[in-house]
Amino acid sequence: MDAKTAQAWEQVDDGLLDLMENNDEKTAPELTAKVKRLHHLSKFTERLAMRVSERLRDGTAPGSILELFSKYQAERGEIDQN
């Protein structure tokens, strides 16, 4: 694993730890919003994992992740507004 990827994984781990802190102090609406975002993140990571699996299985180049990430951000914006 290259240094940039290792750093990215460390950032993901740190972010997940931050997300899980202080849940006992959060209100029900705050926790509901967190659950919605976590479910949405889960869907995105599953899609991302499928693209990586396609690369391994089919030997195809999945291309840029930008379109998938842009869709993820747009959907998250919709979640945040509700």
For the chain, domain boundaries:
27-82
Average pLDDT over residues 57-76: 87
State the DSSP string of 6-43.
HHHHHHHHHHHHHHHTTGGGS-HHHHHHHHHHHHHHHH
Mean pLDDT (whole number) for 6-20: 94
pLDDT attached to residue 45: 94
What are the CA-CA distances from residue 54 to residues 13, 57, 68 (Å)? 25, 5, 15
pTM: 0.80
Q: Are 10 and 53 in contact (CB under 8 A)?
A: no
pLDDT in tens, 26-65: 999 999 999 999 999 999 999 989 888 888 888 887 778 8
Mean pLDDT, residues 14-20: 92
What pLDDT shows up at residue 76?
93
